Structure 1
């Protein structure tokens, strides 16, 4: 087999890798049995479950925080010792971001659009609303 510089930019590359350096699929799955052994380890499985729950909790907390900050102009903070609860002021609801979020939810769940497409449409709508001078903030 002739070595072609265009198909393999690095000399000495062996044939188990594609030209960009990513291993082929069969070499990626060689670690599969080891991962299955880790899955059967009760201690490790419990730790991974706890980590997964913590990550989901952080993501949910961020989602609620950003939604309240986007949809409402003001929030009220209730402090109770080490805990602080940020509640939105319902009188400060922003109608334009609410309409964009509602349309995004409709496109995502009812029309089954992809997240990337919905994100793009909502970003363009927000840009047009800003350029039109609608009260976004």
Structure 2
């Protein structure tokens, strides 16, 4: 059962409007492309999750705060005995890891996609204790693109 749907980020809407009216800086174009691609991946994931039975509670685009720190969960799936925070990635191309640092094939460093799983786990467990929820947490990192290659 869908509890909360996903809305497009205001930043995407603003950058799309500005992009149609003026020439954006390279940094703004890169940011717009990254945000749009991420949102498109999340929408694809949302379509796949529509097929879940009514026994599942689905919450999209959840922003929580714990101990003065905000953390975001792309989709949260709740069953009778587990909670699955999903971190959706819509990567393309080749990536490699050296000493736990992620790089594109052109050797440009990038944010480690597993970092958000660690943040969600470390914040969500005490958060659920405050809410008196005693349930197992199983974070999932999901890559949607078949041409994403992790070396």
Q: Structure 1 or 2: larger strand share?
A: 2
**Bigger RCO of structures 1 and 2 (CA < 8 A, at least 6 apart):** 2
Same fold? TM cut 0.5 = no
Q: Structure 1 or 2: larger helix share?
A: 1
Structure whose alpha-carbon radius of gyration is higher: 1
How does the TM-score come out when normalised to structure 1?
0.28
How does the TM-score come out when normalised to structure 2?
0.26
